[in-house]
Chain A
Amino acid sequence: MRQTTKAIVSIASIGLIAASYKFGLDAPAAFANAEALTQAQKPSQNAGQPSATPNNPTQPNLAPSTPVTPAQPGSPAKPSAKPIVPAKPSSGSGSSSGSGSSTGSGSTGSGTTDPGSGSTNSGNTGGGTGTTTATEITKTGSSIRYRFGTIQVSVTKTDGKISSVNLLQAGATGGRSQAFDFLVQYSIDAQGSSFANISGATYTTDAFKQSLDAALAQF
């Protein structure tokens, strides 16, 4: 480049980099480190489910009994997710059995690899909560043993879109369990497992993705 061009481009890029750095500081921090993470940064805090998320790092295995179902604004499944969320707690029996009365939507039980957790395949046509007749199908992924525990997820699709991801088994040590909120949210946002690994929880991410993929493969 000529001297003048180089000077102009350099100054412009310094400005641009400084600006993006500044904006970057305000960006919502992803899961960076277990210790560094404060509750205020969690996305599910805004989801209107104060008690449903496993916020307590000392009890990481709380997850199976309380499905994480963030209804994030902007999520692709938002319109149909609304009537479904209230239906969820009715199945809170502590086990991970599926909920809802099957109205024969064609998804009968199939392919769960782990006998320990219930296979949850149920068709649900939205109950009587509204005029929407969304088809809700839940499939369970295989349970994945990894370095820090065991992870198993079940995925619920409403009208063909992933509307919620529940953790049936959420084993993780050393604060890694804090990654689960993000993993659930990411998988819903990405409608699958193609999202970035959470730095600091790569193994957990990987196990989560494996179970998720196994569940999605059954649809």
Chain B
Amino acid sequence: MNQTMQLDRQETKAGTAPLALSPAPEKLLLARPNSRVRLGAAKMQSIKRSQDLVEFLGYSTALFITVMFLLDGAVSQIVDVPTALSAISRLTALVATDLLLIHILLVARVPWIERLYGHDRTTQAHKKLGKPILYLVLAHFAASLVQYAILDGQNLWDTFLFLFFDVADMWTATIALALMITVVVTSINMARKKLSYEAWYIVHLLSYGAVMLAIPHQFSTGSDIAGKPIQQTFWVALYFFVALNLVWYRLLSPVVKSLRHNLRVDKVVRESSDTVSIYIGGKRLEAIGGKAGQFYLLRIMTASQWFRPHPFSISAAPNSRYVRFSIGNRGDDTSLMPFLRKGTRVILEGPYGVFTEDRRSKPKVTLIAAGIGVPPIRALAESMAAKAGDIQVIYRTRNEDDAALLEELRTVCDIRGFGLHVLTGSRGEGAAWMPAGDVRPDHQRLLELVPDVAGSDVFICGPAAWTKAVEKTLRRVGTPANQIHAEEFAW
């Protein structure tokens, strides 16, 4: 182990200049297609069933705490305004805490959630929960405050000061609330692009602090937890469950994987004028997992990049020799990719995404890519098992001479007998996703290229607006919604 490390360091030192960007020298070795793929409606049915189960589990935690709250006689205790406020305060706190833990679990990158919903939908659900949780916590805070103010005939400020200074653990809870407000406000600003990613991220880390600061008052004074063994057990278990999932899947597992497989940049190859492929090498890469169509969050362990992971799809089916990303220059961190040095350590978080053959239900498949959306399509074409002619690939690009991975796609389609349609030229008018130069509408042109597109699974990868346009055309020609697969990168 030590020797390897030293060797690597020497190599890193030796490679002071960026790697020469040579055209792909080696002969294209294709992965064997996954011939054991399950097709048909039964598979989708079982995915839906699993989704229902996971959603029910999440829902049942909220149901359980509500039931325990009611069994405790919380409603029967309501006789006047303060007691009603007390009940509101308790229930909002319980539901908010439960949702908060689910909220955290949704970004813990837990495989059994990601595999069912995909990274984009999971992250969207996380975002959606943020504000409701804050409103519930605010309601809890306000109801408690007003309740005590009424009971003691004090004004709100005096009551607040008393609660803050004199009631056990209430000051940490108040700080937790302040942190939560900060986190939600910055997230809204981040969404409105008023805040940089780094500033948002650092503030977002505070939310873990908020969760932990809120714990003491729940267990020491919470009417529904303190001194109640069943509820105590439930909440301790829930906290631990979420914490362990978070620490393992989000934090430790990627690091362990990177170290165990010794993942490092192996070479950088120019694919087109603005695209490079990065080959990640390491030990026993066949054991790293992943499927064609999935992506990793790539964390390049250099001083300026280690804290900025970016999502990239693998552009070749998983194999034992390398993990490959093909990255277009977008003017941001991606412009640094051609200058990566051999031996640079990387951490791969993932693989994530359900833009894979797991979602395929038909023997026929249409793969549609635009521009730098091609990597997952290229990987899918390599790994999908199908009879010759059953898979049709549409590659929309501006210029055929400068299209990333086009030669590889040609090779794959030649060997496997798939149809390849390269659509070049500038954009058509209006919402058209096909190139200009043909008076017929998109759906007619699509039917000409792929007559049975309605009976096939369609995988689309490209810019969001373009993807929307393709989906619209597909619905027009009658492709059922559950046969249309597209994934957005959300991170």
Contacts and interface: CB of A to CB of B under 8 A. Distances in A.
Interface residues of B, number: 41
A196 B221 contact: yes
A200 B227 contact: no
Interface in A162-186: 186
B388 interface: no
Interface string B65-85: 011101111111101101100
Interface residues of A, number: 35
A195 B227 contact: yes
A47 interface: no
A190 B168 CA distance: 17
Interface in A4-25: 5, 9, 13, 16-17, 20-21, 23-25
A33 B151 CA distance: 9
Given A5-B52, A5-B56, A24-B76, A199 B71 contact: no
Contacts of A195: 226-227
A36 interface: yes
B79 A36 contact: yes
Contact of A24 (B52, B73, B79): B73
Contacts of A27: 71-73, 76
Contacts of A24: 70-76
B225 to A, nearest CB: 8
Contacts of A32: 77, 79, 83
B75 A197 contact: no
A197 B73 contact: no
B51 interface: yes
Interface string A185-211: 010011000111101101100100100
B80 A33 contact: yes
Contact of A29 (B66, B73, B226): B73
B224 interface: yes
A194 B73 contact: no
A194 B52 contact: no
A196 B222 contact: yes
B9 interface: no
A33, A190, A199: which has the most chain B beta carbons within 10 Å? A199
A28 interface: yes
Contacts of A36: 79-80, 83
A13 to B, nearest CB: 5
Interface in A21-73: 21, 23-30, 32-33, 36
Contacts of B52: 1-2, 5
B212 to A, nearest CB: 19
A1 B223 contact: no
B73 to A, nearest CB: 3
B219 interface: yes
Specify the main secondary structure of chain B where it touches its partner: helix
A82 interface: no
A196 B167 contact: no
Interface string B40-82: 0000000010011001100100010011101111111101101
A200 B66 CA distance: 22
B67 A16 contact: yes
Contacts of B429: none
Given A194-B219, A199-B86, A202-B148, A21 B75 contact: yes
B220 interface: yes
Nearest to A5: B52
Contact of B83 (A199, A202, A206): A199
A16 B68 CA distance: 11
A147 interface: yes
Nearest to A36: B79
Contact of B79 (A17, A21, A26, A33): A33
Nearest to A28: B73
Contact of B76 (A2, A29, A33, A206): A29
Given A17-B70, A24-B76, A206 B56 contact: no
Contacts of B75: 21, 24-25
Contacts of B71: 20, 23-24, 27
B471 to A, nearest CB: 22
B372 to A, nearest CB: 36
A173 B76 CA distance: 25
Contacts of B226: 194-197
A56 to B, nearest CB: 22
B166 interface: yes
A30 B77 contact: yes
A203 B79 contact: no
B53 to A, nearest CB: 9
A2 B45 CA distance: 10
Contact of A30 (B73, B151, B219): B73
A30 B226 CA distance: 14
Contacts of B147: 199
Interface string A131-145: 000000000000000
A202 to B, nearest CB: 6
A20 B73 CA distance: 9
A21 B77 CA distance: 12
A199 B80 CA distance: 13
B128 interface: no
Contacts of A203: 152, 162, 166-167
A147 B224 CA distance: 25
A197 B144 CA distance: 12
B228 interface: yes
Nearest to A34: B151
Nearest to A146: B166
11 contacts: A17-B63, A20-B67, A26-B76, A27-B76, A29-B73, A196-B226, A197-B167, A197-B221, A199-B82, A200-B86, A202-B167
A-B CB proximity, top 4 nearest: A195-B227, A27-B73, A20-B70, A32-B77
Given A24-B76, A194-B226, A199-B223, 15 more contacts: A16-B67, A17-B67, A20-B68, A24-B74, A25-B76, A27-B71, A32-B79, A36-B83, A190-B227, A196-B221, A196-B225, A200-B82, A202-B221, A203-B162, A206-B167
Interface of B: 48, 51-52, 55-56, 59, 63, 66-68, 70-77, 79-80, 82-83, 86, 147-148, 151-152, 162, 166-168, 219-228
